[in-house]
Homo-oligomer: A and B are copies of this chain.
Amino acid sequence: MLNFSLMGAGRIGKMHAKFIAAHPKAKLKYIYDVNSQFAEEVAKSTGCSIASSPENKVNECMENIKGINVPIQIGFNRRFDASHAKAQQARIKKEIGELEMVVITSRDPEPPGIDYLKAAGGFFRDTTIHDFDLTRFILGDDPVVQISAFGDALFDKNAQQEKDLDTAMFILKSKKGVLIHINNSRRAVYGYDQRVEVFGSKGMVISNNQTPTSLERYTSTSTNEKEPIHFFFIERYEQAYRDQFNEFVKCVEDKTKPLVGFEDGRNALIIANAAYESFESGKVIDIKF
């Protein structure tokens, strides 16, 4: 049985608490959140204890794992999405022939509050970083070597005030010459827009958006109308989050390395930093890992 301390009992924290509770080999021992009501909700529903401070239990945890080669898993959950993973497999198995282009569309349904913005580290490091990792996931051992970044704060007052961005576009180029486009927005009124298009010499696969139900409407003004796509990441990627958690437990058990490790976090951050350098200089930037 693996004991967990969970730092954070917001939306994602509650979801993780649920996964831990449902896993036959995992147990939630401590929950912490600055919002004590959130922590109490999780404690009540799972039977865990509330940690009085994050340092408290973290330090205890640090003592316990000192000298042990603990697995580190970075939360790039999209790699665990079944549709995106099939798109990657189509590249690996050359079902699309030689890879030539990738187009990633990634738009949030609505901008976060200003407190989040202040702490998030900037649009490219907070949001696009997931798309940079997805790019690395699709490309495999062909590294990206160049990036050009554009952005603006077109509509979000908070982003404008914080000198942050709400709309961005990128082109990256890989060592083999593959071209990758990413576009981001902090607002898409029809839901959490998550599309990955992988194009090659023998065809294309698209990991497309998903709606909660498969209902279609036909009226005097429209046909084939579906409801809005999944609202946000928890709705869209719940299975991916669960599968990633399950992988973590398995890695601890089997003493294996998680699929997404520390290096993946560092490399995505290097790309994000190069993106900022391009955005600020108006130049195509060479990426050095």
Q: Which residues of A contact B (CB under 8 A)?
A: 22, 24, 45, 82-83, 86-87, 90, 95, 98, 100-101, 103, 105, 107, 146, 148, 150-152, 154-155, 167-171, 173, 177-179, 181, 183, 185, 187-191, 199, 201-229, 282-284
Contact = CB atoms under 8 A, between A and B. Distances in A.
Nearest to A152: B177
Contacts of A203: 189-190, 217-220
A93 to B, nearest CB: 12
A1 to B, nearest CB: 15
Contact of A284 (B82, B199, B220, B282): B282
B204 A190 contact: yes
21 contacts: A82-B213, A103-B105, A146-B282, A148-B171, A148-B284, A150-B173, A150-B179, A150-B284, A187-B201, A190-B218, A190-B220, A190-B223, A202-B219, A203-B218, A208-B216, A210-B214, A221-B227, A222-B227, A224-B226, A225-B226, A284-B284
Contacts of A206: 215-216, 218
A240 to B, nearest CB: 11
A189 B219 contact: yes
Contacts of A189: 201-203, 218-220
Contacts of A228: 220-223
Number of identical protomers:
4
A201 to B, nearest CB: 6
Nearest to A209: B214
Contacts of A107: 199
Given A220-B190, A222-B227, A181 B169 contact: yes
A161 B214 CA distance: 38
Given A148-B148, A203-B219, A228-B222, A169 B101 contact: yes
A95 B220 CA distance: 12
A127 B239 CA distance: 31
A145 B155 CA distance: 20
